[in-house]
Structure 1
């Protein structure tokens, strides 16, 4: 079990709870639609997220990648094994510590990522961007940036 809290748990007001439920329902519904679009193209959001976590870095360790993509080390490790088997990522040895294994995206992985990101982006454009005004979409980004900045930097998922 986790460490005990010294402060009492805060309770949401009925209005806050309803807003939260609306958020969760809309968010899960949106993710389900994106999952459907991604599955139809033969890829998953997890695959996409892991490759995106690799694309802006020369190479990363599994723990660092897990923190970047907000997934457990074991989940990322399994994904990397599969992506390596498919030629979308490759493992390398650290130049500073021979015991430490790193991973990086391959050129083929970048090509596959671009194709599947286009599928995801189309779904987001239809389901999120189009129904909102430009100002609402901008605000959505600002709200999630604020939420993301308030989250713990690293977690042991």
Structure 2
């Protein structure tokens, strides 16, 4: 057992970040090996736009659960690469709608088979160990529970207990 495994929840965030960085680097290597100029960080936007003709930055922000500035920064990056464009919403001039450019649609055609191959390969990996099949449901359960669990408050209560008041 390595140090990270022995420390349990004390390093959960570090382990998740490390695993995420390793996984995303591997995914980026897949795109690179296929000669596709695509970054895994673009996936949420590409996926959502592959399912919708256009979405507002607010909708993208909400569905990807990132801040509006972070979504806006990603869209700006994709606009600079000529992969997406924005137009003003006809119904609400304050909203910008994001959609693929022709170049973005061409890139999507290249990456769709990669997504299918990644899914198939991960399903094969899952079959090698029953515990791997538990990871996605476990992460979902942790995310859902953690949203409503005030960890800082719970730890604070343990560090600074309120003494029993005598009436």
TM-score category of the 2 structures, normalised to the smaller one: 0.5 to 0.7
Instruction: Identify the structure with bigger relative contact order (alpha carbons < 8 Å, sequence gap 6+).
Output: 1
Residue 74 (structure 2) aligns with:
79
SS in 2 for 1:132: helix
From 124, 129, 132, the equivalent of 2:123 is: 129
1:37 aligns with 2:13: no
From 47, 54, 61, the equivalent of 2:56 is: 61
CA shift, 1:82, in A, is 4.1
- Structure number with greater Rg is 2
Instruction: Return closer, same or farther for 1:27/1:91 CA change in 2, 3 Å cut-off.
Output: closer
- Long gaps (5+) in structure 2: 1-5, 149-167
> What CA deviation, in whole Å up to 9, does each residue of 1:37-88 have, x standing for no partner?
2344211012222111222234222122123223343343233234345553
Residue 70 (structure 1) aligns with:
65
Contact 1:48–1:116 under 8 Å retained in 2: no
CA shift, 1:91, in A, is 1.7
- Long gaps (5+) in structure 1: 1-12
Q: TM-score normalised to the size of structure 1?
A: 0.63
Q: TM-score normalised to the size of structure 2?
A: 0.60
Instruction: Return closer, same or farther for 1:45/1:70 CA change in 2, 3 Å cut-off.
Output: farther
Aligned CA RMSD, in angstroms, stands at 3.4
Within 2, Cα distance between the matches of 1:83 and 1:29?
23
From 133, 136, 140, the equivalent of 1:145 is: 140
Contact 2:84–2:104 under 8 Å retained in 1: yes
SS in 2 for 1:77: helix
CA shift, 1:141, in A, is 2.9
SS in 1 for 2:113: helix
Runs (4+) of structure 1 moved beyond 6 Å?
A: none
Number of aligned residue pairs = 140
